[in-house]
A and B are shown apart, each in its own frame.
Chain A
Amino acid sequence: MNKNKKKDKVDLDALIPEGVTRIKIHHKSDLKAYIWLAPALILLLTFNFIPPIMSLITSFTSSNGVTMERFVWFANYGEALADGVFWQSILNVFIITIATFILTHVANLFLAELLYSMKAKRLSAFYRVMLIIPMVVPIIVTLMITQYITYSASENSLANIVIGWFGAKPSMWFWDSNPAMVIFTIIIRGFPWAGGTTMLIYLAALQGISTEMIEATKLDGVGSFKRIVHFHLPMMVGQIKYFVITGIIGGMQDYNVQLLITQPASDNGSSMVPGYLIYRQAFTNSRYGLANAIGILLFILILGLTFINNRFIQNKNSEEVK
């Protein structure tokens, strides 16, 4: 790309007849670029660059949010790492993120494959729109419906009625005394996990695969499942990588359910996740130093996971290329 650009430039200059001053195009460096960048740079410095540095410094102090107090070095880290709730929260967030990710993406891939395989293209397009429209329901409202209607602890909640058909006893769901049940509910609440932009991105990726290749595999008598695993998935590595990276970064930090529904107290970490632990330590207990230490630990964890993911998926990809 870059080489081409340079070539074009040279050719264009040569085309200009002698004596005609070419309208100023680009100097070697355009310092006015900084004017275009200024709003972004100022905002990012203020709200996205300085805060992590502040958080890092604060994590070594006993700050309460108002004053920096004194340096305590690694005491906050020690306290965080010695706390059972912290480790419980890490375990919880791992289980929730991985389970939700797998369920969401298997469901969305399946749905995208269904829409892709439909012969009636107009009907397929209609379904596609109908599956995106529910995006208009805000996450907050979805959570409230989950909390008060579908998975409420009452016997008349939708989930209890449905499991009643199969002869199961009503469950307390989010408010169950068994911690495993609470985690299970947090994962299962998204059922059936499909629709929206994720499905759209997969469907678009499928539609981008050359039809000749698909036809060829069909003629060779390759079954649908094999076709998906060996021909569709390798063509979607870019999309899957995007989902894995954004999914991990988003999932590991998410605490909407904890904030709005389960509100785990710090002495009972049954549904605690690191994000909510940070929120509680900072805004309920005014322990900004400790909160930031947990934040740094979470950041290191996410960075490590992203790095591993990157390698793992790239390796797989290069194998496919071979």
Chain B
Amino acid sequence: MKELVANDGTVIKKVKYKKTAKDRVEIGKKVLSSTLAQIFIWFFLLMAWLSIYLIVVKSIKTPTQDQKWPFEPTQIIWRVAVSNYSIALTTISKFIFNSFVITLIGTAGQLIVPILTAYAFVRFRFPGKNAIFMGFLALMMIPGTLTLTSQYIIVKTLGMVNSIWGVILPAVSGAIPMSVFLLRSFFGGVSQEMFEAAEIDGARDLTVLMRIMVPLSMPIIAVLGVQAFMGIWNDYLWPSLVLLRSDARTISVALVSLTDQFYNMTHSYSVAFAGYLISAIPIIILFVFCSKQFVEGISAGAFKM
């Protein structure tokens, strides 16, 4: 059926419309391509979720189940499942605390320092402003591997080996150039009139920052926050170099050594996988709360040059 519609939108007459052979081919093509698209998307989805599936399924198996059916879901024996998780939890609990302390302070630092810096770049005029900003951009080009050894020597000289600050401060520092670069473009987009108004009301810079800048830039701050949290929580190399005392280790360092240790004991990865899942819980929670802001921030168009 096709409707003949007048200019003002009223239906004049309904006309029977016969689909021609050409129309059928067109419709067929459309159905085929959208079905194909769905198949592809589902393939990507399944592959993306494969790791999560493997972690969950393997973490609740007995060693025999794991050897017989390495990938299939098996009958859940609750006693085994619970014991896998409780063993994993007791072995990594002290590292969870270390990771939490380092990650929370580090994330706060990775947000506060670049926010202050970006605000200064957007709001103040001062000598050397451009030179300092160019210096920031140049630092983005220097590979981390080049500075790795010298950074380690500095951390050692400052007596920060085995201290949480030896992990936190370099992590905060390393994130500054990129974060300032992204925040500056976001802050710069906030309308100038708003500040003038706030200033005439006598608002101080800190108030302007907290009441105007930060709320208006929440999407990019969410992106930086999530990335900071995940980056520090999951970092392996640097903590493994700095935190040498075994009780000072972070969770990702502990998990790597536990994987081998448990495999040698039980010939299965169940306990290690339970540990992986436990270690991902804080990030899952973070994602539940921030995913909307995160998607918004990524989509806001700051990620281009």
Contact = CB atoms under 8 A, between A and B. Distances in A.
B126 A29 contact: yes
A319 interface: no
Interface in A82-135: 107, 110-111, 114-115, 117-119, 127-135
Given A12-B196, A158-B71, A274-B145, A55 B299 contact: no
Secondary structure call for the A interface: helix
Nearest to A65: B153
A161 B252 CA distance: 29
Given A136-B287, A144-B256, A44 B176 contact: yes
A242 B114 CA distance: 20
Interface in A283-302: 283, 288, 291-292, 295-296, 298-299, 302
Contacts of A219: none
B234 A52 contact: no
B145 A275 contact: yes
Given A12-B196, A138-B234, A50 B291 contact: no
B269 interface: yes
Given A8-B196, A36-B119, A197-B298, A137 B153 contact: no
Interface string B135-153: 1100111111111111111
A147 to B, nearest CB: 9
Contacts of B70: 149, 156
Contacts of A26: 123-125
Interface string B288-305: 000100110011110111
Contacts, number: 277
Interface string B108-122: 000011101101100
Contact of A55 (B146, B236, B252): B146
A239 B305 CA distance: 7
B150 A52 contact: yes
A114 B280 contact: no
B267 to A, nearest CB: 12
A267 interface: no
Contacts of B294: 132
Interface in A232-281: 238-239, 241-242, 245, 249, 252-253, 255-256, 259-260, 274-275, 278-279
Given A29-B125, A141-B55, A132 B295 contact: yes
B284 interface: yes
A306 B126 contact: no
12 contacts: A23-B199, A23-B202, A25-B199, A26-B123, A31-B126, A44-B173, A48-B174, A51-B146, A52-B150, A54-B150, A138-B279, A298-B145
